[in-house]
Structure 1
């Protein structure tokens, strides 16, 4: 297999991880700031509708915090951005499941409604896709940085490090 040396695989993957993470982070920060400007009660279980989603003060704060984490991860980039995106995506899917159950109870402290649950699932799947892109598959190309890292670790374990690899 001939490697494409005109493009750096690390930069292409970093761009996907960074831009995807930053975009979703900015959307969350925008939603959170908008819902905080409405000055809703902190733990109101019914909430008010902002941008099509039910929200209260607590959900506004959580949205700003998670969005800021994602934007920060995008600034750092690389594997950190990928890992944070994957973990946050799994958290969104889990949040959607938990809040689907809590939606009709008095414990709905984030004022979730069905559009919020659907949003959590969609954002969670998007974040998982962005975080896992080019990282978790068996058929990675030879110039993929994650494949090179795995092969380097594997050869160090066997004691047959390739030329130029640090022990």
Structure 2
């Protein structure tokens, strides 16, 4: 499957920028949420605050700080580290969104998610996942070989 990711895509900087902005949003949300919820119980659901349009508690804020810093840092560094981190982060965000959607109205909603949180988590997961499809880096020979294979008559027939 990894062989089908484009190598050195010409819009790679744009996709890395979008993933970095997503990571920056998670980081800023986490810091603002941690400040707003300081003094609350770590996994509180009742005293959860609304920050930047999302519901949060100290646990979710701390998780957002870590996730945002990792995604932002990977995209600042770039190379194939960004590709690997973006792929993993998108999968984790989609899984967390699905889990919190299933657990939203239960006592297991430890991150105080609301429907808005689920939607934003899915959007961030899809943006970062899309970036991971186009941010793979390789030598010019690998990119040329991929373009040749992609544009060959045999590839068009299959």
TM-score range, shorter-chain basis?
Answer: 0.7 to 0.9
Match in the other structure for 1:23: 21
Distance 2:140 2:29 in 1: 34
Shift of 1:41: 2.6
Structure of higher CA gyration radius: 1
Structure 1 segments unaligned to the other structure (5+ residues): 1-8, 136-143, 153-167
- Normalized per residue, the structure richer in helix is 2
Distance 1:127 1:36 in 2: 23
Instruction: Decide whether the 8 Å contact of 1:17 with 1:78 is kept in 2.
Output: no
The TM-score, its normalising length taken from structure 1, stands at: 0.72
Structure 2 segments unaligned to the other structure (5+ residues): 1-6, 147-158
Distance 1:91 1:127 in 2: 11
RMSD: 2.6
Deviation by residue 1:1-48 (Cα, 9 ceiling, x = unmatched): xxxxxxxx8484541343122211111110000001111431012411
Instruction: Decide whether the 8 Å contact of 1:14 with 1:78 is kept in 2.
Output: no
Q: Which runs of 4+ in 1 moved over 3 A?
A: 9-14, 144-147, 149-152
Distance 1:147 1:117 in 2: 42
Distance 1:122 1:65 in 2: 18
Higher relative contact order (CA 8 A, sep 6+): 2
Q: How many residues align?
A: 136
Instruction: State the SS of the aligned residue for 1:72.
Output: helix
The TM-score, its normalising length taken from structure 2, stands at: 0.76
Match in the other structure for 2:109: 108
Match in the other structure for 2:34: 36
Instruction: State the SS of the aligned residue for 1:49.
Output: strand
Instruction: State the SS of the aligned residue for 1:105.
Output: coil
Where do residues 9-158 of structure 1 align in structure 2 (5 Å cutoff)?
10=8, 12-38=10-36, 39=38, 40-46=40-46, 47-133=48-134, 148=142
Instruction: Decide whether the 8 Å contact of 1:85 with 1:127 is kept in 2.
Output: yes
Instruction: State the SS of the aligned residue for 1:36.
Output: helix
